Amino acid sequence: MNNPAQAEGQTTAWQPNVILVDADYLDAVAFDLIVNFERMIGRRIPPAYLCHWLDCIALDGGLKAGDNQIQVAFLHDCRVGRAGL
């Protein structure tokens, strides 16, 4: 792991709410949806707003609306290639 804080023996402070995202899977699903829906509706689909998607994920996960702190970690396998995020 190439985290400078961990290399110095320090620990990483975690927020009260953490969302772990499999970036490779998210990229594949988004690609499949875009390709299939653009073909069905006959027009381009605009880019999605990641911040809005994360809000929806947090609320769907049971987090109540309000003054919350959320940490998001995108995980991906560097052997798979570039994630589209």
Question: CA 52 to CA 2: how far, in whole Å?
Answer: 29
Strands in the chain per DSSP E: 17-22, 70-75
**pLDDT of amino acid 31:** 92
**pTM greater than 0.75:** no
> pLDDT tens across 9-68, in order?
677 788 889 999 999 999 999 999 999 999 999 999 988 899 999 999 999 999 998 899
Give me the torsion for CA of 32, 70, 73, 48, rounded to 10°. Answer: 20
Cβ atoms of 17 and 70 closer than 8 Å: yes
**pLDDT of amino acid 11:** 77
**pLDDT of amino acid 8:** 64
In order of 1, 8, 31, 84, the CA distances from 49 in angstroms are 29, 35, 15, 13
